[in-house]
A = this chain, B = another copy of it.
Amino acid sequence: MTAAYPFVPALREPEGSPIRELFKYLSDPEMISFAGGYPSAALFDADGIGAASARVLRERPAECLQYGATEGAPALRDALVALMAGRGAAVTREQLLVTSGSQQGFDFLVRALVEPGSVVLVEEPTYSATLQALRLAGAEVRGVPSDRHGMDVDALAAMLADGAVRPRLIYTVPTFANPTGATLSPERRLRLLELAARHQVVLVEDDPYGALSFDGAAPPSLLALCDQVPGARPWLVHLASLSKTLAPGLRIGWMVAAPEIIRRAVIAKQVSDLCTPPWIQLAVTQYLAEGRLCAQVEREIAFYRDKRDRLAEALWQAFGERIRFALPAGGMFLWAALEGVDDAAALLPHAIAEKVLFVPGTGFYAQRRARPAFRLSFAGAAPEQIAEGVARLKRAAARLDAAG
């Protein structure tokens, strides 16, 4: 007997993430992967995390193992307020909610603000899980074009100017974006805040990568800038995470927003997971208090910068004029296209045959159609694998040329 479940429309034909579809190849030890968005496990400070967690469990076992406040452990919220101050953003505890990864923060915004048919604007290309969350909520997603300096704010202004719709959210990863690696210019940042304030639209700054800046300081976050733009602050929501700096498996993120928005997010969290594990929250608080994060991020920056350089150099060497990409100034991703390849998805089977992985561009757009660009992550592969991975990519492109 087959059951006919009354699934909601978005889940009748479940569409997985394009990256997940590549997971099955990762178990192949011969594979070199530029696909995943995973940070390098080689740098995890397991000793520091282990010591901090053992200490808080010894000193405060009941607090670690009992249910905790939905808003997050007060001590962690205070520590994150201090961390944000160090990034130039003045925040109070009441404006900050601890989330189980920054993705959960976006999920709460969607629950609080998006109904089936609601219009949401996202820079394109964009993070695929954001598109998936919006699809699940039944949103009507419209893409705002972007270039190597991030979202095209003139295009956004034109979309907002007609006034026909008031979007529920505008979503951007302004610093070292996923998938493009692009960083929004300071002028565009101010313009974007002005647009959010003028049109009274919630602007979501997703900032998991901002701390990983290779070439000097990154521009101030939208959050750090928003007090310069009259009326912008109530409309800005900032999502942050320790996944890309400390460890993703801890699932510690946070949302900074107006207290009215935080209040709704807390209700969404009550029905979702009640609280982020208090033990992990207290361990992270202890870790931050010991001042270990800064050195950890320094190590990551050096490691990823070197790998970015190796990847870029190898790509130029292998493909010369044929490849187009902008060198990312931080983060984990490089967004490239090859002359003569109109659909990067067609390159993928050849790459898999050559034992190298990347993510074709199509999954980063609301409309799934052929895209020439593809995403290469320099975070996961070992430094000494990168040149070989690019050589394989070159052979894959030759195979595609021969097939075409």
Contact = CB atoms under 8 A, between A and B. Distances in A.
Contacts of A116: 115-116
A70 B17 CA distance: 12
A6 interface: yes
Given A8-B112, A67-B249, A273 B136 contact: no
Contacts of A264: 7, 11, 14
Interface in A208-235: 231, 234-235
A248 interface: yes
Contacts of A86: none
A322 B7 CA distance: 48
Given A234-B3, A270-B132, A8 B111 contact: yes
A37 B56 CA distance: 24
Given A67-B243, A100-B100, A104-B272, 6 more contacts: A5-B112, A11-B264, A38-B67, A44-B66, A46-B65, A66-B247
A248 B202 contact: no
* Copies of this chain present: 2
A274 interface: yes
Interface of A: 1-8, 11, 14-17, 20, 38-39, 41, 44, 46, 49-50, 53-54, 57-58, 61-62, 64-68, 70, 100-101, 103-104, 107, 111-116, 129, 132-133, 136, 166, 168, 200, 202, 231, 234-235, 243, 247-251, 258, 260-261, 263-264, 267-268, 270-280
The 9 closest A-B pairs by CB, nearest first: A46-B61, A41-B62, A65-B247, A3-B234, A133-B271, A100-B273, A65-B249, A44-B65, A249-B278
